[in-house]
Amino acid sequence: MRVRFISPSLPRNPLLRLLALAALAVIAIGLLTMGLLVGGIVLASAAIVLAVRRWLSRGEPPPADPSVIEGEFTVVPPHARAELPRPE
């Protein structure tokens, strides 16, 4: 069984064949151009958003949260794991 939609047959007339190939080339170039254009717009807008966010966040640092306890900590070595009492 041959899948016909993957490689469509071109017309037998040489002029129509040339016209079909030219149309396919124009469509391919158009899709490539639109993809590059949309990709460029997305990258440019992302760069602008990041620059504006960085520019707007250049203020004073936020005040310290009073619920956070700061200090020095020491690592306690682990001891034997506690076990449940055995049933009698």
Residue ranges covered by each domain of the chain: 10-56
Using one digit for the tens of pLDDT, what is the confidence trace for 15-53?
Answer: 999 999 999 999 999 999 999 999 999 999 999 999 999
Please state, rounded to an integer, the average pLDDT across all residues of the chain. 85
pLDDT at residue number 16: 93
pLDDT above 70: residue 4: no
Q: pTM, whole model, 2 decimals? A: 0.54
**Who contacts 10 (Cβ-Cβ below 8 Å, separation ≥6)?**
16, 17, 20, 21
> For 59, which DSSP code?
S
